[in-house]
């Protein structure tokens, strides 16, 4: 590898890892905001704003990751393979999982930008479907990533899985025990 290719390769790898960590934060905060969670003495809109900000930051890192994967001659990822899953790549399964994840994120972005035109139900359905982008991106990194065989990357993956699992367990326990406060209950309590 020459110096330019090496720099692109390191940028592709690092933005991929950062993307997975950021998407984990997006997932955990998304789960928390559906239960109207906010840290003590912090308004709930702060959690929603943080979720939105980390989402936008993750889109930037995913974008850089995708562009560098296409530009890097050693990655063997063509433009078509980025958008159309499981075709035209050196490793079609793992690149395909990344492409499906990217497509779901793109659908979420477009539906969010057009939310008032697509309606709440359609936006919500796409949002639920977009939850699949996180495990697909994680699988893509574990299967495709050159760092998957090192010790640190599986540890990051385990931490990401534990974070999302804990958020899901918390959400399900609150729903199961009837502790989810509906808007009419909140108004009555005030």
pLDDT for the residue numbered 181: 47
Query: Within a 10 A sphere around the Cβ of 94, how many other Cβ atoms?
Result: 19
Please state, in angstroms and rounded to a whole number, the distance separating the CA atoms of residues 44 and 111. 23
Per-residue tokens: 32: 């928390």
pLDDT of the chain, 190 residues: tens digit per residue: 566 678 999 999 999 999 999 999 999 988 887 766 666 677 767 777 888 899 999 999 999 999 999 999 888 888 999 999 998 767 899 999 999 999 999 999 999 889 889 988 998 899 888 889 999 999 999 998 778 888 899 999 999 999 999 988 988 887 655 554 444 443 443 3
* Cβ pair 99, 85 in contact under 8 A: yes
* Cβ pair 157, 139 in contact under 8 A: no
What number of CA atoms fall less than 13 Å from residue 45's CA on the CB side?
Answer: 0
Q: Pick from 64, 80, 53, 86: which is nearest to 19 by CA? A: 64
Could you identify the residue written with the tokens 């110096």? 3
pLDDT digits 0-9 by tens, 77-99:
889 999 999 987 678 999 999 99
pLDDT digits 0-9 by tens, 138-171:
999 999 877 888 889 999 999 999 999 998 898 8
What number of CA atoms fall less than 13 Å from residue 21's CA on the CB side?
Answer: 12
């Amino acid at each position: 590898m020459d110096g330019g290719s090496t720099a692109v390769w390191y940028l592709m790898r690092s933005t991929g890892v950062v993307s997975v960590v950021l998407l984990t934060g997006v997932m955990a905060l998304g789960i928390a905001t559906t239960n109207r969670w906010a840290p003590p003495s912090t308004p709930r809109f702060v959690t929603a704003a943080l979720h939105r900000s980390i989402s936008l930051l993750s889109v930037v890192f995913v974008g850089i990751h995708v562009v560098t994967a296409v530009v890097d001659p050693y990655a063997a990822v063509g433009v078509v393979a980025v958008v159309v899953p499981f075709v035209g790549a050196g490793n079609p399964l793992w690149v395909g999982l990344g492409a499906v994840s990217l497509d779901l994120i793109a659908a979420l972005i477009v539906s969010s930008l057009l939310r008032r035109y697509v309606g709440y139900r359609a936006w919500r359905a796409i949002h639920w479907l977009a939850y699949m982008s996180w495990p697909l991106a994680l699988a893509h990194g574990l299967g495709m990533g050159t760092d998957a065989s090192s010790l640190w990357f599986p540890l990051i993956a385990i931490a990401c899985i534990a974070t999302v699992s804990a958020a899901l367990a918390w959400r399900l326990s609150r729903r199961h025990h009837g502790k989810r406060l509906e808007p009419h209950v909140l108004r009555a309590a005030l």
